Amino acid sequence: MVTTVHGTYTSAPVVVADKPAKPTLSDANLLVCPGESVRLTASGCTNYEWSSGQTTSSITISPTVSTTYTVKCKEGADCYSDPALAGVQVGGLTNTSVLTGVAATNQTSRASRIQSTQIVNANVNHTYRAAKSVELNPGFKADGQSIFKVEVDANCGN
């Protein structure tokens, strides 16, 4: 309690909370064919809020036009992180992707043409989806117990 010449006032402690950390997206830029469903997955939070209204860590979407989705971490009633952005481009695949390094698990690489020298480690599930071709070049390696799938879908190319 504080007393001044203007009267007596009661004060309460003010709690200032840090903003929650921004969530991490498993795939931030996707190319999908018209009518295709895709799963967006965020991590790093306990509570999520997507621009589409869902509140789970993963959402399945079937956009008909190219769309940017946002997800925020939410703590308490109105405490939000900065948004993480996931761009989903709908339309014919026209690009060529040259993939190197270690393939991520439970992901799909999409392009008109894919050229891969990736390593698919054990217990990894990875899909290559192309409109025109997939080339597994020298250096490509799939370890035992890994699953890699190749899909060629001419309906998604230009």
Q: Which of 70, 90, 110 is the last residue of a domain?
A: 90
Can you give the residue range of the structural domain that contains 151? 96-156
How do the pLDDT tens digits run along the chain, 158 residues long?
Answer: 667 777 777 767 766 677 889 998 877 667 777 777 888 899 999 999 999 999 999 999 988 888 889 999 999 888 999 999 988 877 766 677 788 888 877 777 777 788 888 888 888 888 887 878 888 888 888 888 888 888 777 666 55
What are the structure tokens assigned to 127, written together?
Answer: 């899909």
Flag whether 54 is in a domain. Answer: yes
Q: Are residues 106 and 146 in the same domain?
A: yes
Domains held by the chain: number: 2
C-beta atoms surrounding 138 within 10 Å: 6
Are 49 and 76 members of one domain?
Answer: yes
Q: Match 């895709």 to its residue by tokens.
A: 38
- For residues 94 and 83, is the Cβ–Cβ distance under 8 A? no
Same domain? 129 vs 105: yes
User: What burial class does residue 71 get, using C-beta atoms within 10 Å of its C-beta: 0-12 exposed, 13-18 middle, 19+ buried?
Assistant: buried
Residue 129 forms part of a structural domain: yes
Does residue 4 belong to any structural domain of this protein?
Answer: no
H or E element: which one contains 77?
none
Contact criterion met (CB below 8 Å) for 108 and 129: yes
85 and 135 in one domain?
no
Enumerate the β-bridge partners of residue 9.
2
Residues 82, 47 share a domain: yes
Q: Is residue 12 part of a domain?
A: no
Which of 75, 90, 105 terminates a domain? The answer is: 90
pLDDT digits (tens, 9 = 90+) for 52-62: 999 999 999 98
Distance separating alpha carbons of residues 26 and 68, to the nearest angstrom: 15
Which is it for strands 7-9 and 96-99: parallel, antiparallel or unpaired?
unpaired
Which of 41, 72, 90 terminates a domain? The answer is 90
Residue 5 within any structural domain of the chain:
no
| SS3 labels along 14-69 | CCCCCCCCCCEECCCEEEECCCCCEEEEEECCCCEEECCCCCCCEEEECCCCCEEE
Q: For residue 57, give the CATH number of its domain.
A: 2.60.40.10
